[in-house]
Amino acid sequence: MSGAVDTATSLSPGAWLGVLGGGQLGRMFCQAAQALGYRVAVLDPDATCPAGMVADEHIRAAYDDAAGLDRLAQRCAAVTTEFENVPADSLRRLAQSRITTPSGDAVAVAQDRLAEKAYIQAAGVPVAPHAAIQSAADVDACPDALFPGILKTARLGYDGKGQVRVASRGEANEAFQALHGVPCVLEALQPLDYEISVVVARDLQGRAVSYPPSRNAHRDGILALSVADGSVPSDVAGQARSHALSLARHLDYHGVLCVEFFVLRDGRVLANEMAPRPHNSGHYTQDGCLVSQFEQQARIMAGLPLGDTESLRPAAMLNLLGDLWFDAQDRQCEPDWAGVLAVPGTRLHLYAKSQARRARKMGHVNILGADAAQLRERIARVSAVLGLPDA
Q: Tell me if 112 is assigned to some domain.
A: no
CATH number of residue 142's parent domain:
3.30.1490.20
**Cβ neighbours of residue 302 under 8 Å, at least 6 residues apart?**
10, 11, 15, 17, 36, 38, 78
Burial of 300 (C-beta count, 10 Å sphere; 0-12/13-18/19+): buried
154-175 confidence digits (pLDDT tens): 987 665 678 999 999 999 999 9
Cα 230 from Cα 210, distance rounded (Å): 14
Q: Tell me if 116 is assigned to some domain.
A: no
Q: Tell me if 115 is assigned to some domain.
A: no
Residue 198's SS3 state is strand
187 is in an annotated binding site: no
How much is the pLDDT for 3?
36
How much is the pLDDT for 160?
61
0.85 exceeded by pTM = yes
How much is the pLDDT for 6?
47
Percent of the chain whose pLDDT exceeds 70 = 97
Residue 232 amino acid letter = V
Q: 389 — phi, psi (to 5°)?
A: -65, 155
159 is in an annotated binding site: yes
Percent of the chain whose pLDDT exceeds 90 = 93
Based on C-alpha coordinates, what's the Rg of the chain? Answer: 21
pLDDT above 60 for 2: no
Q: Tell me if 303 is assigned to some domain.
A: yes
Residues 284 and 348 both lie in one domain? yes
63 is in an annotated binding site: no
**Cβ neighbours of residue 156 under 8 Å, at least 6 residues apart?**
85, 111, 162
Residue 329's SS3 state is coil
How much is the pLDDT for 236?
98
Look up the domain containing 320 and give its range: 192-386
Residues 46 and 169 both lie in one domain? no
152 is in an annotated binding site: yes
195 is in an annotated binding site: yes
85 is in an annotated binding site: no
Q: Tell me if 108 is assigned to some domain.
A: no
Hey, how many other C-beta atoms are within 10 angstroms of the C-beta on 364?
26
Q: Tell me if 367 is assigned to some domain.
A: yes
57 is in an annotated binding site: no
270-298 confidence digits (pLDDT tens): 999 999 999 999 999 999 999 999 999 99
Residues 35 and 57 both lie in one domain? yes
Contact assessment for residue 104 and residue 111, using Cβ atoms and an 8 Å cutoff: no
Q: At what angle do helices 113-122 and 234-250 cross, to 10 degrees?
A: 110
46-70 confidence digits (pLDDT tens): 999 999 999 999 999 999 999 999 9
Tally of domains in the chain: 3
Q: Tell me if 105 is assigned to some domain.
A: no
113 is in an annotated binding site: yes
Burial of 386 (C-beta count, 10 Å sphere; 0-12/13-18/19+): middle
267 is in an annotated binding site: no
CATH number of residue 87's parent domain:
3.40.50.20
How much is the pLDDT for 1?
33
